[in-house]
Structure 1
Amino acid sequence: MATSTREVQAPAAPTSIQLPGIVLGIGLGGFVDGILLHQLLQWHHMLTSTDDDRIGVKYYSPNTVSGLEMNTVWDGIFHAICWVAVLLGLAILYKRVTRNRRRVWASRVLWGWVLAGWGLFNIVEGILDHQILGIHHVHGGPHQFWWDMGFLLLGVILLVGGYLLQRSGQPFDPDATDIPEGAGRRV
Structure 2
Amino acid sequence: MSPITSPRPTRAPLIAAGLLLGAGLGGFVDGIVLHQIFQWHNMLSNQLPPDTLVRAKVNMYWDGMFHAAVWVLTAVGLGMLWSATGRPEVPHSGRTLLGGLLLGWGLFNVVEGIIDHQLLGLHHVYEYATNKQPADLAFLGFGGLLLLSGWALVRAGRTRRLT
Q: Would the TM-score normalized by the shorter structure come out above 0.5?
A: yes
Highest CA radius of gyration, 1 or 2? 1
Superposition RMSD in Å: 2.7
Q: Which runs of 4+ in 1 moved over 6 A?
A: none
TM-score by length of 2: 0.87
TM-superposition CA deviations, 1:67-109 (whole Å, max 9, x none)? 1111000000000000000000011111122069xx94x7111
The CA deviation at 1:169 is: 2.7
Aligned partners of 1:115, 1:62: CA distance in 2, in Å? 32
Distance in structure 2 (CA, Å) of the matches to 1:77 and 1:123: 20
Give the Å deviation of 1:159: 0.5
Supply the distance in 1 between the matched residues of 2:87 and 2:5 (Cα, whole angstroms): 23
Structure 2: gaps (5+ residues) = none
1:35 to 22, 32, 36: 32
Q: 1:172 to 1:27 in 2, by over 3 A?
A: farther
Q: Which residue does 1:14 correspond to in 2?
A: 10
Unaligned runs of at least 5 residues, structure 1: 51-58, 179-187
Aligned: 1:110 with 2:127:
no
The answer to whether residue 61 in structure 2 is matched with residue 73 in structure 1 is: yes
1:169 aligned counterpart, secondary structure: helix
Q: Which residue of 1 aligns with 2:136?
A: 148
2:52 to 61, 64, 67: 64
Q: Contact 1:14–1:172 (CA<8 Å) still a contact in 2?
A: no
Question: Paired residue for 2:106?
Answer: 119
